[in-house]
């Protein structure tokens, strides 16, 4: 029988006996995997609760992952970072000299903070750590247009590393060399985090952003080639009223499955479960079916109960949650026949 992973992310509640109620609902909905966010706030104030929540998740039979949710704002997540306010030297610097509210992946102090985060997260005994969308500060870039006027990062750490690599000062224009440097910096940073994860005898999962930008990794093979990465995925979230969701998600699923096969990784697709207009819940099934057809057997959705507790909630969270649950249970039945 095929190994099927059906997951959901969870955040916003740190009262263990209340979380237990949600964990039961998550298990009963057909999920066997949960990704708990573990933010800077959790590190500072909620470690005992997170330890208990992770333990209760395991007791429910769920595979447990922890996510550095918006830590330093260098990962995905809808929460604030105190690190970028307290440690200004860790911030990214724009090409125009602006101090930006995001930590630089090349700053040793930020890397040291994350290694401490890994130590703490590992003490909760999860199955793995989820490295979600590592990136530089993202300015909009027009496809086929002129080079971006502003970009990041030109902090002292980046300039020193660029000088060492290219034997020339880092320019203030977004040259081909700068793009190469930025992409390699994300890859090297991810390798450092994944290696540290494996050193704790945990699995390492990676989600790459599904769009082309000089502040992300466009050559996904560089990320998939990292030996310490176990799972490679992406999150092709669609916009309200976007047509042809099956072909849209399927295209990204195909890319991920091909990469995973090439580098002997497990492919994963994240499914939209927020910001869904009423009446468009059926697009969840289109997305799941298309990824399944491409060979994906590891699904995760963001987030629990249609994200009905945040600003970007689905308009009808209960219907979104039931739709996802129906999809998951149908997949489970299909592999158990």
Q: What is the mean pLDDT of residues 166-173?
A: 97
Asked whether residue 69 is assigned to any structural domain, the reply reads yes
CA distance 188 to 115: 14
Asked whether residue 142 is assigned to any structural domain, the reply reads no
* Residue showing tokens 């490295």: 131
Q: Is the pLDDT of residue 239 over 60?
A: yes
CA distance 7 to 319: 18
Output the pLDDT for position 144: 61
Output the pLDDT for position 141: 78
Exposed e or buried b per residue across 8-42, where buried means at least 16 C-beta atoms within 10 angstroms of its C-beta = bbbbeebebeebeebbeebeebbbbbbbbbbbbbb
Region of 329 please: left (phi>0), alpha (psi -120 to 50) or beta: alpha
* pLDDT 10s digits, 149-166: 899 999 999 999 999 999
Region of 97 please: left (phi>0), alpha (psi -120 to 50) or beta: left
CA distance 67 to 121: 9
Q: Is the pLDDT of residue 304 over 70?
A: yes
Asked whether residue 205 is assigned to any structural domain, the reply reads yes
Q: What is the mean pLDDT of residues 194-211?
A: 97
Q: What is the CATH number of the domain that holds 313?
A: 3.20.20.80
Output the pLDDT for position 336: 82
- The parent domain of residue 29 ranges over 5-77+105-132+181-336
Asked whether residue 137 is assigned to any structural domain, the reply reads no
Asked whether residue 195 is assigned to any structural domain, the reply reads yes
Q: For 64-216, where are the alpha helices, taking DSSP H only?
A: 83-86, 108-122, 156-166, 176-199
Output the pLDDT for position 282: 98
Asked whether residue 158 is assigned to any structural domain, the reply reads no
* Residue showing tokens 């102090």: 109
Number of neighbours of residue 319 by Cβ within 10 angstroms: 18
Asked whether residue 187 is assigned to any structural domain, the reply reads yes
Asked whether residue 98 is assigned to any structural domain, the reply reads no
Q: Which residues pair with 5 in a beta bridge?
A: 298
Q: How many structural domains are present in the chain? A: 1
Distance of alpha carbon 110 from the chain centroid: 18
């Amino acid at each position: 029988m095929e190994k099927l992973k059906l997951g959901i992310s969870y955040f916003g509640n740190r009262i263990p006996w209340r979380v237990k109620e949600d964990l039961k609902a998550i298990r009963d909905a057909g999920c066997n995997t949960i990704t708990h966010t573990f933010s800077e706030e959790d590190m500072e104030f909620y470690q005992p609760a997170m330890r208990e929540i992770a333990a209760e998740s395991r007791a429910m039979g769920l595979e447990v992952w922890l996510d550095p949710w918006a830590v330093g704002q260098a990962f995905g997540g809808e929460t604030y970072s105190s690190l970028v306010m307290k440690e200004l030297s860790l911030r990214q610097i724009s090409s125009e000299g602006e101090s930006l509210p995001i930590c630089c992946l090349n700053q040793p102090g930020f890397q040291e903070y994350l290694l401490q985060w890994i130590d703490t997260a590992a003490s909760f005994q999860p199955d793995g750590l989820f490295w979600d969308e590592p990136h530089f500060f993202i300015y909009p870039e027009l496809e086929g247009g002129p080079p971006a006027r502003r970009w990041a990062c030109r902090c002292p750490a980046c300039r020193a590393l660029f000088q060492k690599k290219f034997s020339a000062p880092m320019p203030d224009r977004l040259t081909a060399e700068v793009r190469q440097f930025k992409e390699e910096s994300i890859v090297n940073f991810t390798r450092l985090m994944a290696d540290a994860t494996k050193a704790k005898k945990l699995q390492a999962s990676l989600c790459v952003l599904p769009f082309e930008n000089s502040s992300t990794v466009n050559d996904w093979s560089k990320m998939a080639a990292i030996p310490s990465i176990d799972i490679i995925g992406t999150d092709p979230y669609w916009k309200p009223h976007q047509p042809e969701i099956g072909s849209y998600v399927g295209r990204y699923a195909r890319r991920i499955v091909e990469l995973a096969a090439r580098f002997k990784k497990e492919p994963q697709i994240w499914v939209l479960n927020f910001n869904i207009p009423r009446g468009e819940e059926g697009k969840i099934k289109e997305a799941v079916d298309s990824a399944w057809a491409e060979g994906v057997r590891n699904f995760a959705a963001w987030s629990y109960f249609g994200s009905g507790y945040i600003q970007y909630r689905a308009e009808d969270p209960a219907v979104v949650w039931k739709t996802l649950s129906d999809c998951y249970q149908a997949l489970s039945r299909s592999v158990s026949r």
